[in-house]
A and B are shown apart, each in its own frame.
Chain A
Amino acid sequence: MVQTAAAMEAYNGYWANAYLPAADILWIVVILIVALLALWQARTFVSKF
């Protein structure tokens, strides 16, 4: 199913008033950074305990 114009408008509307720049991309980047940080800490944890 292709996104309708209304769905895309609602989706883009979420990020339109964000306090951060390029919020529609930045949320993905932030999640990736935190997730990778958690994974790295998990590997460190495995080696320590």
Chain B
Amino acid sequence: MDLQELKKLEQKRRVRYGYMWALFCAVLWGLWYLPGTVVWDLNPFDEMFGEIAAASGDDVSLVVTAVLISGFNALTVIIALLVWNGVLGKYGEMKRTLKEFKPCSKWFFLGSIFGGPVAILGSFIAMGFVGGAFAAVAALMYPVVGSILASQWYGEKISRRAAIGIFMIIIGGLIIFGGGLFAELGSGNIGWIGYLGGLMAAVGWGIEGAIAGKGLDIAEPDIGITIRFLGENIIWWIILIPLLAITGFPMIKYALLAFEPLTILVLVFAGITFGFCYVSWYKSFPLIGVGRGQGIGNLYGMFAVIFIILFFGDVPSWTLLLGGAFCLLGSFTMFSEETGGLESLRGE
């Protein structure tokens, strides 16, 4: 076998791994919706929602409770990521990356701002002020933002075939959540803040992906994502939660009440799914590019609906079958792309 053939084989393996990681991300993200949904009905979050809703209304209560849940989610995510890095023997590399703030860690801390309070909070605001289907559809748009930004910022190439694949997956997601979306939009009386939340979700995750792509030029994805969640924990636990506590919301009281076996179990599994999903997302970027990684990651919408049907017993609708077909077609369009074209992910 000559050098050219070996190079081709290596490239093929890299691309195959890239798509595998993006697919792991989508499956784990879909699974996250199981603990991510049930945790709202468990105490102390159930009682917290009730207490704040009685004083400030349901919408405010949803966002404030979401901040505490997101804080706990970030906490269990970082524990899961420490286990991940421990198994891979990367603690030494983590120390080295953390020390190199200017060339390296700053990108991941910046990513935590866009992925944490901007995207996650935006998603919850969209959910609270418009509805769950609108929040899901808005979030599906993030690969458009991510791939445009990566292309404009550091010249990441996005082939025609990959762009078609991303477009088809977005259309698939639109069909899956379409019925709920029109019902929510048709109900009228929707404040602009709900739409702003949707925009925050799409732009936040899109920008985070592009920033991560830049940071991953010089850092390992497993370490990069751990630093990103360190940043997110600082934002929730040192800035936002104390700030809400100062303004009079019972944040500390309910944070201390969260240490209940079933609540902790559900939060731990939310942390495992979210943490491992995020690390898989980051691992896919250097191998197949931000646009493709985010495009395949978008299959989470389809997986979330499938897991919710299987585990919660919801009745599948025709929109799932049609939207799922679009998602599969979009994924296949991307998977079947000639790997030679992906030899260099960046422009000349």
**Could you say which residues of chain A place their CB within 8 Å of the CB of B273?**
31, 35
We find that the number of chain A residues with CB closer than 8 angstroms to chain B is: 33
A1–B311 contact, CB under 8 A? no
B262–A14 contact, CB under 8 A? no
A38–B262 contact, CB under 8 A? no
- Residue in A1, A26, A34 whose beta carbon sits within 8 Å of that of B260 in the complex: A1
User: How many residue pairs, one in A and one in B, have C-beta atoms under 8 Å apart?
Assistant: 96
**Could you say which residues of chain B place their CB within 8 Å of the CB of A41?**
20, 24
Task: Identify which of B33-41, B58-66, B185-193, B194-202 touches chain A.
Answer: B33-41
- Interface residues of chain B: helix, strand, loop or mixed (majority): helix
Assess A42 versus B31: contact at CB under 8 Å? Given A23-B311, A27-B311. Answer: no
Per-residue CB contact flags for chain A residues 25-36 toward chain B (1 = under 8 Å, else 0) read 011101110110
- Residue in B35, B46, B84, B312 whose beta carbon sits within 8 Å of that of A7 in the complex: B46
A14–B37 contact, CB under 8 A? yes
B87–A38 contact, CB under 8 A? no
Per-residue CB contact flags for chain B residues 262-299 toward chain A (1 = under 8 Å, else 0) read 11010001001100100110010000000000000000
A43–B41 contact, CB under 8 A? no
CB-nearest residue of chain A relative to B80?
A35
A31–B43 contact, CB under 8 A? no
B310–A18 contact, CB under 8 A? yes
- Interface of B toward A, CB cutoff 8 Å: 13-14, 17, 20, 24, 27-28, 31, 34-35, 37-38, 41-44, 46-47, 84, 87-88, 222, 257-258, 260, 262-263, 265, 269, 272-273, 276, 279-280, 283, 309-313
* Sample (22) of A-B pairs whose CB atoms are under 8 Å apart: A2-B260, A3-B43, A3-B260, A3-B263, A4-B43, A10-B46, A11-B41, A14-B37, A15-B311, A16-B313, A18-B313, A23-B310, A27-B34, A27-B35, A31-B273, A34-B31, A35-B276, A39-B276, A41-B20, A42-B88, A43-B88, A49-B17
